[in-house]
Amino acid sequence: MRFCYAVILLIAFMAMNAGAQRYESTPPQYDDSLGGGLGWMNIVSPEHTAEYLAKTGGATGSATTYTSIDIRGNWSFELRTLDDKMVGTVNLNLAQIGTVVFGAGTVRGSNAIVTANGAIVDNMLTLNIVTYPNVELYSARLNQIGGGGRSAAGYFDAYSSSGGSLQGTIRGEKDVPRTLS
């Protein structure tokens, strides 16, 4: 009888231990719509922008490369479809380190927030704008940069998390502080 009792205890112990091993070998599940196992950190956390860019590969620019184009500041970008229908207006506060550009802002007329990252390469600004809570990516190529970085225009490709896509034009202007003379 003692032998049976010992065998039952041994089987129960092995079953508990096997369950624990299964649990330990299961990778943690994150509620992370952007993937990549970023977990608690997401793209809409401005205090984690540098960490996010480092983990995702970020922009292709260089923080140590010089450019005469100064993109820093508050921008208003108007996005339109190729047949000139209004998509929306994005207000961004852009920062720049060398040729690397990043920032955050809002979509005018909605509660959506946006983040952006990109780079200035060969006098063209590539800018990836992601909206939240409706996750959409606007991948812009602004090849017409005027006034030393006070205006920009080009094209974008948009992708929604539901699988839709759209192409259009993007035109932006930097808010330049006015001074009395």
pLDDT tens figures, 102-156: 999 999 999 899 999 999 988 899 999 999 999 999 999 999 998 878 999 999 9
Residue 81 included in any domain: yes
Answer yes or no: is 108 within a domain: yes
- CATH number where 122 lies: 2.40.128.120
Specify if 148 maps to a domain: yes
Q: Would you give the DSSP letter of residue 62? A: -
Does the residue 21 lie in any domain?
no
Q: Which range marks the domain in which residue 69 is found?
A: 46-174
Report helix, strand or coil for 100: strand
Pairing of strands 113-121, 124-132: antiparallel
Domains in the chain: how many in total? 1
**Entry pTM:** 0.65
CA–CA separation, 124 vs 5, rounded Å? 77
